[in-house]
């Protein structure tokens, strides 16, 4: 009787094991989907928006850099660098990727 009892309950344990394997797989897929929607997709949109911003920069634009410098673009180099005028006597050469935003025209005069 014990053999029959263990055989019957052993088969249900293997069925539960199979069901738990499927439920684990479904949980992992749902977790990956949520992870994609919360992290990867917004990051991809930010990268695309930043690339679009980098391509739209031209001489004369007023910019804000990641380090907090505000200046006017004087020249855009082919090597990916930008010459930025901070005031009438200071110019800085920065990497184009370090530009945070393009400010509206006239922002520097208001400061």
- For residue 64, give its domain range: 58-109
pLDDT of 11 above 80: no
Which token pair is 78?
């082919």
Is the domain of 70 the same as that of 104? yes
Q: How many domains does the chain have?
A: 2
Q: How confident is the model at residue 51 (pLDDT cuts 50, 70, 90)?
A: very high
* pLDDT at position 6 over 80: no
Q: Do 75 and 33 sit in the same domain of this protein?
A: no
Q: Are 83 and 91 in contact (CB under 8 A)?
A: yes
Percent of the chain with pLDDT over 70: 83
- Quote the pLDDT of residue 16: 57
User: What's the whole-number average pLDDT of the chain?
Assistant: 86
pTM, entire model: 0.65
Residues 47 and 80 in one domain: no
**DSSP category for residue 104:** P
Say what the pLDDT of residue 95 is.
95
My answer on whether 62 and 102 are in the same domain is: yes
Residue 98 resides in a domain: yes
Q: Are residues 63 and 89 in the same domain?
A: yes
10 located within any domain: no
The whole-angstrom separation of Cα 65 and Cα 81 is: 13
Based on the fold, state whether residues 74 and 104 are members of the same structural domain: yes
At 5 the pLDDT is: 52
Question: 51 and 67: one domain?
Answer: no
Residue 6 located in a structural domain? no
Distance CA 16, CA 20 (A): 6
Residue 71: beta bridge partners?
63
The 3-class SS string of 55-87 reads HHCCCCCEEEECCCCEEEEEEECCCCEEEEECC
Mean pLDDT for 35-53 is 93
23 pLDDT band, cuts 50/70/90, is confident
Phi-psi label, residue 102: left if phi above 0, alpha if psi -120 to 50, beta otherwise: beta
Q: Is 64 found in the same domain as 98? A: yes
Q: Does residue 74 sit in the same domain as residue 46? A: no
Instruction: Indicate whether 3 belongs to any domain.
Output: no
């Amino acid at each position: 009787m014990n053999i029959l009892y263990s055989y019957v309950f052993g088969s249900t344990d293997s069925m539960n094991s199979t069901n738990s394997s499927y439920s684990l797989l479904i949980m992992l897929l749902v977790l990956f989907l949520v992870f994609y929607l919360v992290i990867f997709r917004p990051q991809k949109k930010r990268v695309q928006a930043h690339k679009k911003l980098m391509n739209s920069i031209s001489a004369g634009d007023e910019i804000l850099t990641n380090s907090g410098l505000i200046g006017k673009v004087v020249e855009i180099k082919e090597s990916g660098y930008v010459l930025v005028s901070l005031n009438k006597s200071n110019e800085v050469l920065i990497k184009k990727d370090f530009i945070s935003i393009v400010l509206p025209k006239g922002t520097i005069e208001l400061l």
